[in-house]
Amino acid sequence: MTLQQRQQRTLRPDNIIGDICWPSVDIDSVFVLMFGFSLYKSYFGFSCDTSVFPMGTKYIIAHIALGFLLFFALFLSILPSILFVRYFPPPSSHNIAWFVLEALIYIMMLTSILCSGIMFIPGIIFRAFRLAPKEGEYELDIRNKEIFKWILSQGLYRISMFVGKISALSKKWVIRLFGAKIGHGVIFQGGVTDPYFLEVGDHTIVGGGAIIFTHLADKPRHIVFRRVRIGKYCLLGHQALIMPGVVLDDYVIVGAYTLVPKNKHLNRGLWVGIPARRIKDIDVESITREIELDVLEIKDFGKT
């Protein structure tokens, strides 16, 4: 057998190895199925627990529909980069210097298109179809419209945050795109479970590791959605936890590793501990003056 015949036999999809006949399989289809299954498991693995969702035909169909919708949203997110590669082929210059330069530009453009698609397209889908659930308490039943919308919106939000979490600025863009009301001069380095239930006032800082919970499952097979409102000139310290229904007035400082229980109303001052307790008042004038000076310095820097 010649070398060419061996290569042809090796590359045949129905190649016979020993007594095992390998059927003709489209490797792209296998990859798509495996990737879709992994995406489905990553977002809906918890729902396979029959104690939470009794398995039945309607439940299985709903889960399959959710997995398909999320996979389709992911496909739409990467579609612009696929079209870019399809209609703008990679550089093929024979000059090494030009080839390296063109390759760098091509890779930068492709990366920008890919990251932009993943970060913004799921949010556009979320807004176009109004997938934000309503506030209230619901039974964890996927047949419920609000629960279905919530799980779907969570999947879209996680796809966008895959790229959006690389910086505080991109994270704030994604959170705003998913319905959060963010004021001017806000620095958002923490996280929020459901952005569409969040309001943050001007010049507030959400520190790294701080998490704002807007949903809570404190009863078996029930979940509660509550809006969280944070005023102006507030500060959430490192690893602070904010529970659903919390309201922070203006000029509230929540210390590092502080837990604010659900439906708690914090007035002006410094709050620390588990649960949060107020230990002292703060000087409003000094905080406002420092922030205004920082804003003026930024504006002057922009003029130079």
Domain shared by 159 and 251, yes or no: no
Q: What is the mean pLDDT of residues 39-68?
A: 64
Are 34 and 123 contained in the same domain? yes
Same domain, 189 and 92: no
* Cα–Cα distances in angstroms (integers) from residue 262 to residues 76, 226, 227, 259, in the given order: 37, 9, 10, 9
Q: Does residue 295 register a pLDDT over 90? A: no
Please state the domain count of the chain.
2
Please report, in angstroms and rounded to a whole number, the separation of the first and last CA atoms in the chain: 76
For residues 265 and 301, membership in a common domain is answered with yes
Residue 171 located in a structural domain:
no
Residues 107 and 136 in one domain: yes
Share of the chain above pLDDT 70, in %: 76
Cβ-contact 133, 215 below 8 angstroms: no
- When pLDDT is cut at 50, 70 and 90, the band that residue 35 belongs to is very low
CATH number at residue 205: 2.160.10.10
Read off the pLDDT band of 297 (50, 70, 90): low
Same-domain pairing of 93 and 199: no
Helix axes 27-44, 145-164, angle to 10 degrees: 110
- The span from the CA of 239 to the CA of 259, in Å, is 9
Give the tens place of pLDDT for each residue, 237-285: 999 999 999 999 999 999 999 999 999 999 999 999 999 999 998 877 7
Tell me the one-letter amino acid at 136.
Answer: G
Domain that residue 275 falls in: 179-304
The answer to whether residues 74 and 214 belong to one domain is: no
Query: pLDDT-derived band of residue 16, with 50, 70 and 90 as boundaries?
Result: very low
What pLDDT is attached to residue 34?
Answer: 43
pLDDT digits (tens, 9 = 90+) for 158-193: 999 999 999 989 999 999 999 999 999 999 999 999
Q: Are residues 262 and 293 in the same domain?
A: yes
Report CA torsion sign: 85, 89, 91, 92: positive
